[in-house]
């Protein structure tokens, strides 16, 4: 759908993430934020007033009245299928906040309906659009790190009170699972995990996940316990090492400096020198704004640089495998 006109956009669910989608749509020059929908009327009326858009308690009424060109779905995960299908059946492109759905079956229903109706479905794995991830991906494609040996990821912080229907693996680790799939261009062949319930007895609030990508080892650590918010990733390769900070958008690169020499016994030995270090600062670009710009451009021009529903399904499948592995480990202990 190639068009130069502004697109009329709406947001269904304006809680922790949805309110930021509304803000960004309102700031975008090629978009009109026409409406928001949320069952919590009193708490969101101010958002509609702030951005001068319509408010609806019934999202179906909003879809039928406003007929938006695109919609963000940011309701609780258990409602993703219901709301996404309502949009797709009205031929409205959707961006669904991660994860794609609460189950594989629901995710496949969304994917199949989108294909049948030929409606774009994108998934809000926002970390893909962080400038430091985009830069790291570029360096990997250029083989700047040689053969990748391992990736370590840490995503920890305090419990988010708005999360009521999922655990730390689905809420946090699914980000890092998608990022590793994206960076490596692969999906893991092995999934192992340990998890626990340190501060509650209902859901996992900490987990360590080990993924195997054809010889590349990935360790993902997530929790809702650490009293400080940490969002970091490190990558080790035969030609170098990288440290990435999502929050301040910095990327530090260490280029290996080693040579193979023959020692006095006629055997090859490796001699290491001081690594060349370079720090890149890529601050000033909000990942969510880049994500929504990409979503709008996909609708208008059909560009393929999106997180597809298939990508979202893959991340969900791996996260659910990690939960099952954690369950087995938890039951044995």
Sign of CA dihedral 305, 131, 186, 98: negative
d(CA 11, CA 21) in angstroms, rounded, equals 7
* Residue entry with tokens 């858009």: 53
Taking the domain 7-119, which CATH number applies? Answer: 3.40.50.720
* Domain range annotation of the chain: 7-119, 131-286+316-332
Q: Going residue by residue through the chain (333 aa), what tens digit of pLDDT does each one get?
A: 555 689 999 999 999 899 999 999 999 999 999 999 999 877 788 999 999 999 999 999 999 999 999 999 999 999 999 999 999 999 999 999 999 999 999 999 999 999 999 999 999 999 999 999 999 999 999 999 999 999 999 999 998 776 666 899 999 999 999 999 999 999 999 999 999 999 988 899 999 999 999 999 999 999 999 999 999 999 999 999 999 999 999 999 999 766 655 555 555 555 566 668 888 877 778 999 999 999 999 999 988 789 999 999 999 999 999 999 999 987 665
Would strands 276-281 and 250-255 be described as parallel, antiparallel, or unpaired? Answer: antiparallel
Do residues 296 and 28 make contact, with C-beta atoms less than 8 angstroms apart? yes
Q: Which CATH number fits domain 131-286+316-332: 3.30.2350.10, 3.10.28.10, 3.30.360.10, 3.30.2130.10?
A: 3.30.360.10
303 three-state secondary structure: coil
In terms of Cα–Cα distance, which of 304, 292, 301 is closest to 9? Answer: 292
pTM of the model as a whole: 0.91
């Amino acid at each position: 759908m190639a068009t130069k006109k502004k697109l009329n956009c709406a947001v269904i669910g304006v809680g922790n993430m949805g309110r930021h989608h509304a803000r960004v749509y309102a700031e975008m020059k090629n978009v009109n934020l026409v409406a928001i929908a949320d069952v919590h009327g009193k708490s969101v009326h101010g958002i509609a007033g702030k951005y001068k858009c319509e408010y609806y308690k019934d999202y179906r009424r909003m879809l039928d009245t406003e007929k938006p060109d695109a919609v963000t779905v940011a309701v609780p995960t258990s409602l993703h299928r219901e709301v996404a299908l309502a949009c797709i059946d009205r031929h409205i492109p959707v961006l669904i906040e991660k994860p794609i759905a609460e189950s594989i079956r629901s995710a496949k229903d969304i994917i199949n309906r989108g294909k049948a109706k030929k409606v774009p479905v994108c998934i809000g794995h926002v970390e893909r659009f962080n400038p430091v991830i985009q830069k790291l991906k570029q360096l990997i494609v250029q083989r700047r790190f040689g053969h990748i040996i391992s990736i370590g990821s840490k995503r920890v912080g305090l419990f988010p009170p708005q999360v009521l229907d999922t655990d730390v693996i689905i809420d946090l680790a699914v980000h890092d699972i998608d990022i590793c799939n994206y960076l490596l261009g692969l999906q893991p062949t092995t999934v192992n995990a340990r998890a626990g319930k340190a501060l509650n007895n209902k859901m996992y609030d900490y987990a360590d996940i080990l993924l195997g990508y054809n010889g590349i080892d990935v360790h993902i650590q997530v929790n809702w316990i650490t009293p400080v918010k940490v969002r970091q990733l490190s990558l080790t390769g035969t030609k170098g090492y990288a440290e990435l900070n999502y929050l301040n958008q910095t990327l530090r690169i260490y280029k290996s400096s080693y040579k193979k020499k023959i020692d006095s016994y006629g055997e090859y030995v490796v001699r290491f020198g001081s690594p060349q270090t370079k720090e890149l600062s890529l601050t000033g670009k909000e990942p969510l704004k880049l994500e929504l710009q990409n979503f709008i451009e996909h609708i208008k021009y059909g560009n393929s640089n999106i997180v597809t529903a298939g990508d979202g399904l893959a991340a969900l499948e791996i996260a659910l495998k990690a939960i099952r592995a954690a369950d087995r480990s938890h039951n044995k202990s």
